[in-house]
């Protein structure tokens, strides 16, 4: 047993480019280097609390170190929940999981302390009793906890990335409103369609946030083979997203500011919250500002749809990119921990296009001898 544990400690330490001294120091074990050497050779027993400290530094679960005859050494494939599965979802899912793993890897290379992130609010729900009003109430509660302000769309991604450590990825998902979320040893991850406009991305992010907040093995089992409950879960996520992005008091204030409730005014409010006209109208219906029957009529009105389309085209903005992932991968490359080719692969860029791509994030490639930092 101790031979296998020692070998797997060495394999994981080497994979993460940590020296024996660095692992000992980070784990605060107080050993000499020779002690870890003996452990890795299988010549010394390891106490449970010592192994727990090593696992924490290496960002792996304890079962990784044990023989496959008791517990699988390779972690189970992360679960991915899709909003709408695109045709090539299996390939996209594999790419998504690979990116989640890469993100975790560059966090490790940059010594990111995951304990600095705030723990995301969690909510256990039962789809047999959880209502749309419950979803709206949860959205108001979470909005206050996140501190995203009166117009959450503009700050949601940055806060979730920087304060809560959620990992964002963007890929071409077919433009059908598809998005996905995953929770695993690689962290909390969200995949968004890169081809959709910003207002739709905002809604997808809030929608997937609901799934992460309510993520629970019992819930996953509940919806796995029940299409009715799965559909209900998606509708509740939509209600949560609308509630999060269009806060109660902010909407009432915007409605009161209208001289009259004309089409142009309603569209302007949708742009203010950076959500779709449909999401806004359903949110207004939840407040009984308009009747639910009138929502469908409004959405079928060609004049209103034309006005909404023109407004959206004028307010197009580039879709969000995971600045944090790009920055961490860039730093790992600049510090010599990964190759330039590995960086290009992580960012899905060719080597020839890499420099220009990094410039979009305000990052420039420099050689190690161009800049000297004095320690004096």
Q: Evaluate if residue 372 carries a pLDDT over 50.
A: no
Q: How many domains does the chain have?
A: 3
115 with 205, same domain? yes
Task: Answer yes or no: pTM beyond 0.85.
Answer: no
pLDDT score recorded for residue 163: 92
91 with 208, same domain? yes
The answer to the question of residue 367 being in a domain is: no
Distance of alpha carbon 135 from alpha carbon 204, whole angstroms: 16
Among residues 230, 245, 260, which one ends one of the domains?
A: 245
Question: Which one, of 50, 25, 30, lies nearest residue 40 by Cα?
Answer: 50
DSSP assigned state of 154: G
Q: Which residues of 104-127 are buried (b: 16+ CB within 10 A; e: fewer)?
A: bbbbbbeebeeeebeebeebebeb
Rounded alpha-carbon distances, angstroms, from residue 6 to 34, 35, 38, 148, 350: 13, 11, 8, 46, 39
Query: pLDDT tens, 223-257?
Result: 877 889 989 999 999 999 999 999 988 888 888 87
The answer to the question of residue 327 being in a domain is: no
254 with 231, same domain? no
Residue 308 in tokens: 């909404």
The least confident of 30-39, 78-87, 250-259, 302-311 is 302-311
Q: Mean of the pLDDT values across residues 76-81?
A: 72
253 with 237, same domain? no
155 with 284, same domain? no
Distance of alpha carbon 120 from alpha carbon 122, whole angstroms: 6
Distance of alpha carbon 242 from alpha carbon 356, whole angstroms: 37
Q: Evaluate if residue 88 carries a pLDDT over 60.
A: yes
Q: Mean of the pLDDT values across residues 152-158?
A: 88
The three-state secondary structure class of 49 is helix
The least confident of 1-5, 143-147, 302-306, 314-318 is 314-318
Q: Mean of the pLDDT values across residues 333-338?
A: 88
Q: Evaluate if residue 299 carries a pLDDT over 90.
A: no
Among residues 196, 222, 245, which one ends one of the domains?
A: 245
* End-to-end Cα distance, the chain: 49
Q: Which residues of 224-262 are buried (b: 16+ CB within 10 A; e: fewer)?
A: eeeeeeeebbbebbbbbbbbbbbbeebbeebeeeeeeee
Q: Mean of the pLDDT values across residues 191-216?
A: 88
- Residue 239's domain comprises 79-245
Question: Which one, of 252, 256, 280, lies nearest residue 266 by Cα?
Answer: 280
Question: Which one, of 211, 165, 209, 189, lies nearest residue 100 by Cα?
Answer: 189
Q: Between residues 306 and 244, which one has the greater pLDDT?
A: 244
- H helix or E strand, kind and range, residue 202: helix 198-213
Distance of alpha carbon 263 from alpha carbon 305, whole angstroms: 10
Q: What is the CATH number of the domain that holds 138?
A: 1.10.10.2910
Residue 14 in tokens: 């080497």
166 with 198, same domain? yes
pLDDT score recorded for residue 374: 37
Distance of alpha carbon 6 from alpha carbon 21, whole angstroms: 16
Among residues 208, 224, 245, which one ends one of the domains?
A: 245
Work out the percent of the chain whose per-residue pLDDT is above 90: 21
199 with 116, same domain? yes
Q: Evaluate if residue 25 carries a pLDDT over 50.
A: yes
- Residue indicated by tokens 């963007």: 170
Q: What is the CATH number of the domain that holds 7?
A: 1.10.260.40
- H helix or E strand, kind and range, residue 327: helix 323-334
Burial class of 78 by CB neighbour count within 10 A (0 to 12, 13 to 18, 19+): middle
Average model confidence (pLDDT) for the chain?
82
102 with 241, same domain? yes
């Amino acid at each position: 047993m101790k031979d296998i544990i020692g070998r797997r400690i060495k394999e994981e330490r080497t994979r993460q480019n940590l020296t024996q001294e660095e692992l000992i120091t980070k784990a605060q074990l107080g050993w000499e280097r020779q002690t870890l050497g003996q452990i890795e050779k299988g010549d010394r027993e390891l106490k449970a609390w010592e192994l727990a400290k090593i696992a924490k530094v290496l960002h792996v679960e304890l079962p990784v170190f044990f023989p496959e005859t008791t517990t699988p050494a390779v972690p189970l494939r992360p679960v991915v929940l899709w909003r709408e599965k695109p045709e090539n979802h299996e390939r996209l899912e594999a790419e998504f999981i690979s990116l989640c793993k890469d993100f975790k890897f560059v966090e490790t290379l940059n010594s990111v302390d995951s304990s600095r992130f705030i723990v995301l609010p969690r909510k256990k729900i039962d789809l047999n009793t959880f209502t749309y009003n419950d979803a709206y109430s949860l959205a108001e509660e979470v909005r206050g906890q996140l501190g995203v302000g009166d117009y959450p769309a503009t700050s949601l991604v940055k806060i979730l990335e920087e304060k809560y450590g959620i990992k964002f990825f963007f890929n071409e998902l077919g433009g059908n409103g598809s998005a996905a979320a995953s929770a695993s040893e690689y962290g909390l991850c969200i995949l968004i369609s890169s081809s959709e406009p910003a207002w739709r991305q905002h809604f997808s992010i809030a929608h997937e946030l609901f799934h992460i907040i309510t993520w629970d093995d019992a819930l996953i089992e509940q919806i796995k083979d029940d299409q009715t409950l799965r559909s209900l879960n998606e509708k509740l996520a939509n209600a949560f997203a609308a509630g999060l992005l269009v806060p109660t008091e902010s909407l009432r204030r915007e409605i009161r500011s209208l001289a009259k409730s004309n089409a142009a005014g309603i569209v302007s409010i949708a742009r203010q919250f950076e959500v779709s006209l449909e999401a806004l109208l359903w949110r207004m219906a939840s407040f009984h500002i308009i009747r639910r029957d009138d929502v469908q009529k409004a959405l079928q009105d060609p004049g209103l749809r034309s006005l909404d389309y023109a407004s959206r085209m004028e307010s197009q903005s580039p879709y969000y990119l995971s600045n944090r992932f790009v920055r961490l991968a860039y730093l790992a490359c600049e510090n010599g921990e990964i190759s330039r080719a590995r960086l290009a692969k992580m960012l899905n860029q060719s080597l020839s296009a890499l420099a220009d791509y990094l410039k979009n994030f305000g990052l420039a490639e420099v050689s190690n001898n161009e800049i000297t930092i004095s320690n004096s």
